[in-house]
């Protein structure tokens, strides 16, 4: 459990908070490229790390991310005119380019130099792999974007999925670094006999209480949940936490899986789950697979009107009690993401971690919390840069499953398979045996 003080430090991300300051040392996925589809398209409201911004794509295709309020008298720039390489406030006509420079102040005399003294608060942006990234830190020269493999694939070879979750970012992230819930929440209705003989799926369903090992890494924390595969081999599911809010789940085959998920805090009570993966990869969201498809409302223009799930708390996440009773589904909730959504949102906006009772299966969660808290305090107290903030190459890693001979050191034995940007011939997902992509 955590103290109330540590829970506050861990969860709060607004301006001036220790964890918020830590996150601002990194590039943050802020907007999908598809949300600003064309030059001079409509400006949009963006809530990020407890702050309100207006994003727009200018005449030349560059993206600006501004403070919501015009620096003149505070009118919202959401109502601005996006025209001729800038965003013009409709209140008095002040116009700003994507860097926040005031380029026109038509209500001031022509001889006035006042516009040279006024700037809108604007943050650097960079666009890659369908994502518009923002840097909200104080460095004059931002670091390079992280070397996240799924965000560096050629166009046409990557896919994105994104949903909003109405709870704190940390309890959402904790669901991704908790592989123990998979054989209950997601596959609790399956028996070992439902998976093919010799498959990894059968191994997992035969033993729903694996053993855990957790190790720190230069960029976060790595862990494995392992079970005997046979007398001479062990099945390892290896997953990653990467600063400040990235998770790589253990689904699939280590060496084949190219994916990562960001739990981006909109504010302390709303989070975006952004999944990056190789196109067609296991764990995507094809409409043909109901377990992997979650319906969302069309995006609106409000501060939290993006990527909201149709199934939510107000309709009990569309739970089907008959399916639950008949064991057609362990939960009766229609998709894997919604199953996670229901349990993490049911904890409340920010869970009172001083009331929990942790077991051995929570080792990864315990270590990740401590790593984050220690890093936030080190930045606050000593100015120590957090892991990965100045070394983007540390993000070049993978996760997944592997079977190893009994008695080997799993960290050493998987070092090559965990490297990103490496092709491993001869690997196949056929060994998984039908366990859903979670």
The full set of domain ranges for the chain reads 27-142, 151-432
Whether 69 contacts 77, CB under 8 Å = yes
pLDDT one digit per residue (tens) for the chain, 438 residues? 899 999 999 999 999 999 999 999 999 999 999 999 999 999 999 999 999 999 999 999 999 999 999 999 999 999 999 999 999 999 999 999 999 999 999 999 988 989 899 999 999 999 999 999 999 998 999 999 999 999 999 999 999 999 999 999 999 999 999 988 999 999 999 999 899 998 999 999 999 999 999 999 999 999 999 999 999 999 999 999 999 999 999 999 999 999 999 999 999 999 999 999 999 865 433 333 467 789 999 999 999 999 999 999 999 999 999 999 999 999 999 999 999 999 999 999 999 999 999 999 999 999 999 999 999 999 999 999 999 999 999 999 999 999 999 999 999 999 999 999 999 999 999 999 876 654
Count CB atoms within 10 A of the CB of residue 426.
Answer: 5
Same-fold call for 27-142 versus 151-432:
no
CB contact set of 244 (below 8 Å; sequence gap of 6+): 22, 23, 25, 26, 372, 386
Look up the CATH number of domain 151-432: 3.90.380.10
Residues whose CB is less than 8 angstroms from the CB of residue 202 and which lie 6 or more positions away in sequence, other chains included: 192, 195, 196, 433
Q: Are 431 and 253 in contact (CB under 8 A)?
A: yes
Separation of alpha carbons 83 and 208, rounded Å: 58
Residue 48's DSSP bridge partners are 51
Q: Return the bridge partners of 47, or none.
A: 52
Any bridge partners for residue 235, and if so which? 227, 403
Q: How far apart are CA 221 and CA 293, in angstroms?
A: 29
* CATH topology (fold) of 27-142: Rieske Iron-sulfur Protein (2.102.10)
* DSSP SS3 for 386: coil
């Amino acid at each position: 459990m955590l103290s109330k003080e540590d829970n506050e430090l861990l969860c709060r991300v607004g301006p001036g908070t220790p964890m918020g300051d830590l996150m601002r040392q990194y590039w943050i996925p802020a907007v999908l490229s598809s949300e600003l589809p064309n030059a001079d398209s409509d400006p949009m409201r963006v809530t990020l790390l407890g702050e309100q911004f207006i994003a727009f794509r200018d005449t030349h295709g560059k993206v600006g991310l501004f403070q919501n309020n015009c620096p003149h008298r505070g009118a919202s720039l959401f109502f601005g005119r996006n025209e001729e390489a800038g965003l013009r406030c409709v209140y008095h006509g002040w116009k700003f380019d994507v860097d926040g420079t005031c380029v026109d102040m038509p209500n001031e005399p022509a001889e006035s130099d006042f516009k040279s003294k006024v700037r809108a608060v604007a943050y650097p942006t960079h666009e890659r792999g369908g994502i518009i990234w923002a840097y909200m830190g104080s460095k004059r020269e931002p670091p390079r974007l992280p070397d996240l493999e799924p965000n560096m694939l050629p166009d046409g070879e990557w896919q994105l999925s994104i949903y909003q979750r109405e709870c704190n970012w940390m309890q959402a992230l904790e669901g991704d670094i908790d592989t123990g819930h998979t054989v209950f929440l997601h596959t609790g209705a399956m028996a070992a006999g439902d998976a093919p003989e010799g498959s990894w799926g059968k191994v997992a369903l035969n033993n729903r209480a694996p053993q855990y090992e957790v190790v720190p890494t230069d960029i976060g924390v790595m862990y494995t949940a392992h079970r005997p595969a046979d007398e001479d081999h062990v099945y390892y599911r290896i997953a990653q936490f990467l600063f400040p809010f990235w998770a790589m789940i253990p689904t699939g085959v280590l060496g084949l899986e190219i994916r990562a998920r960001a739990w981006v805090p909109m504010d302390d009570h709303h989070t975006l789950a952004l999944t990056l993966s190789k196109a067609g990869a296991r764990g995507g969201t094809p409409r043909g697979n109901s377990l992997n498809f979650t319906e969302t409302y069309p995006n609106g223009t409000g501060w939290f009107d993006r990527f909201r799930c149709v199934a939510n708390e107000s309709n009990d996440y569309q739970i089907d009690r008959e399916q639950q009773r008949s064991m057609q589904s362990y939960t009766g909730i229609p998709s894997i993401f919604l199953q996670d959504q229901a349990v993490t949102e049911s904890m409340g906006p920010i869970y009172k971690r001083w009331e929990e009772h942790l077991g051995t299966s929570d080792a990864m969660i315990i270590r990740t919390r401590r790593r984050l808290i220690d890093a936030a305090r080190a930045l606050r107290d000593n100015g120590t840069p957090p892991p990965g903030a100045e070394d983007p190459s540390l993000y070049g890693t993978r996760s997944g499953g592997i079977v190893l001979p009994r008695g080997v050191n799993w960290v050493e034995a998987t070092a090559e398979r965990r490297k990103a940007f490496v092709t491993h011939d001869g690997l196949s997902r056929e060994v998984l045996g039908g366990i859903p992509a979670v």
